[in-house]
């Protein structure tokens, strides 16, 4: 941050172009009386033979709507 390079500015410009192109995207949250918080997750503890890295994924729902 103190000494930004050209590469840094190119990266920031790319992020801003992405945001500009997706400004109208969004999630629809409908009205509901069902507000149960549910989480699903899956883990792979180092099954990758090459680098033994673990992979984790998850989804969070409130009612019928995914928010994470």
Is the residue at 30 inside a domain?
yes
Distance, in Å, from the CA atom of 39 to the CA atom of 23, rounded to the nearest integer, reads 28
Is the residue at 46 inside a domain?
yes
Q: Report DSSP state, residue 54.
A: -
Higher pLDDT, 1 or 56: 56
Q: Name the CA dihedral angle for 30, 33, 39, 40, rounded to a multiple of 10 degrees.
A: -70
Is the residue at 20 inside a domain?
yes
Is the residue at 45 inside a domain?
yes
Is the residue at 1 inside a domain?
no
Tell me, yes or no, if the pTM score tops 0.75: no
Higher pLDDT, 54 or 59: 59
Is the residue at 21 inside a domain?
yes
Q: What angle do CA 55, 16, 59 make, to 5 degrees?
A: 30
Count of the separate structural domains present in the chain: 1
Tens digit of pLDDT for each residue in 11-55? 999 999 999 999 888 867 677 777 888 999 988 877 767 777 788
Domain that holds residue 62: 6-66
Distance, in Å, from the CA atom of 64 to the CA atom of 8, rounded to the nearest integer, reads 40
């Amino acid at each position: 941050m103190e000494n930004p390079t050209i590469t840094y500015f190119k990266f920031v410009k790319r992020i801003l172009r992405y945001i500009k192109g997706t400004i109208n995207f969004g999630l629809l949250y409908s009205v509901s009386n069902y507000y149960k918080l549910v989480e699903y997750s899956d883990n792979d503890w180092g099954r990758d033979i090459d680098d033994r890295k673990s992979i984790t994924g998850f989804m969070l729902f409130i009612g019928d709507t995914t928010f994470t």
